[in-house]
Amino acid sequence: MNELAIGTNDLAKTYAGFHAVCGIDLNVPRGTIYGFLGRNGAGKTTTIKMLMGLARPSAGSAHVLEMDVSTKRIAILQRTAFVSEKKTLYPSLTPAELVRFSRGFYPTWSDHAVERYAQLFEIPMKQKFDKLSNGNQTKVFLLLALCQGADLLVLDEPTTALDPVSVDQLLHVLAEDALDRGCTVFFSSHQLEEVEQIAEYVGILDHGKLLMEARLDDIKSEFRLITAAGNSLPAQTSPQILSVDVEGDFHRYVVTKDADAFAAGLAGNGATITNIASLNLREIFLHLVRKETPCISGNVGATPVPLQ
């Protein structure tokens, strides 16, 4: 396994009895792009806040660039660029002034990158931040993050308010420039197509639980939706069975590996296999988040698939 850029162990966050994050084990390998998926309120932003030292974990631990977030916050922030879900910056400052403000915090800051990305994203550098369009405000945030020369980019819904051209430019920058520098990109999104376009790994979070963590190539090559009809078929999830949907005699399984062997096993138990289909990320996402029951017990463990 690669070294981890982000690793969490049973990480949990509770707000006044509400379990926002329920004991998740994230494994984000270095030098990769990791898409962190989930519906609204799934716990993505809370997880990211804990990684960035903006919120304290209620339980568990988290390491960023192999440093403990609770004790090495400053060292982590020195090497991490962060784009928040809220794209608000000082309203009276221009992008040029925001660059001037941010530059001094980072020894690895690149003015060359400022020029390049300001031109690429067509950012009006002399206009006050609050006078910029929402899309341009998001671009300024991204510009400040990309120019830090960070080892890890943590982006919370980075494509908010961006037009399709800008989204494409950003994805290109992340996939080409960031990875070329050996930078790890960890980004949350609702846009499955964007994630599928550039991510190497994905994690799916729902109701605070990590439902799945896998390599995107594995999803394409290994994950299968098996539809079987029969009685007394297994209805429990396991590392191999990501989800089970039962309707009468029909069982629909999302399996993570060895689909043919699994189907043969079902057939051996008297089931009739009606279909074996490959899945894309969108289908997996929908299967997972529509089935899981909410986390109500607090420290419910996720069932992550080990990274290969």
Partner 1 sequence: MYLWKCWRDTRSFAVVFMVMAAAVMPVTAAIGVGTTLLEKGFAKGIFISTLVFMLFVVALGLGAIGAIQEFTDKTAHFLFTKPRPRFYFVWIGWVVGCTEILAIALVNVLVGGITLAHYGKIPFGSVVFDLIKKQDVAPILIDALFIYSLTYSLTAVLRNGLKGLGASMGSLAILQALAVAIRMRWNVNVPLPPQPIGSLSQAISNLVWMLVALLLVFSAQLVVERVEI
Please report, as ranges, the residues that interact with partner 1 according to CB under 8 A.
Answer: 49, 52-56, 74-75, 77-78, 80, 82, 84, 86, 88-93, 100-102, 104-106
Half-sphere exposure of 90 (CA within 13 A, CB side): 11
Cβ of residue 289: shortest distance to partner 1, in angstroms?
Answer: 26
SS3 122: coil
How far is residue 276's CA from residue 273's CA, in Å, rounded to a whole number? 8
Q: Which is nearer to partner 1, 52 or 118 (CB)?
A: 52
User: Min. distance of Cβ 98 from partner 1 in angstroms?
Assistant: 9
Q: How far is the CB of 78 from partner 1 (least distance, A)?
A: 4
52 or 233, CB closer to partner 1? Answer: 52
CA distances from residue 286 to 39, 199, 222 in whole angstroms, order as listed: 10, 18, 18
Is 193 in contact with 37 (CB distance < 8 Å)? no
How far apart are CB 149 and partner 1 at their closest, in Å? 13
Compute φ and ψ for 164, nearest 5 degrees.
Answer: -55, -35
Rounded to 5 degrees, φ, ψ at 111 are -70, -30
For 98, which DSSP code?
H
- Return the number of the residue (95 or 225) whose C-beta is nearest partner 1: 95
Rounded CA gap, 61 and 41, in Å?
21
- Name which of 129 and 285 has its Cβ closer to partner 1: 129
Shortest distance, CB of residue 74 to partner 1, whole angstroms? 5
Encoded amino acid at 210, one letter: L
- Supply the minimum distance, in Å, between the C-beta of residue 278 and partner 1: 40
Question: What phi and psi values does residue 263 have, to the nearest 5 degrees?
Answer: -65, -40
Q: Say if CB 135 and CB 163 are below 8 A apart.
A: yes
Nearer to partner 1, 54 or 267 (CB): 54
Residue closer to partner 1 by CB (options 42, 89) is 89
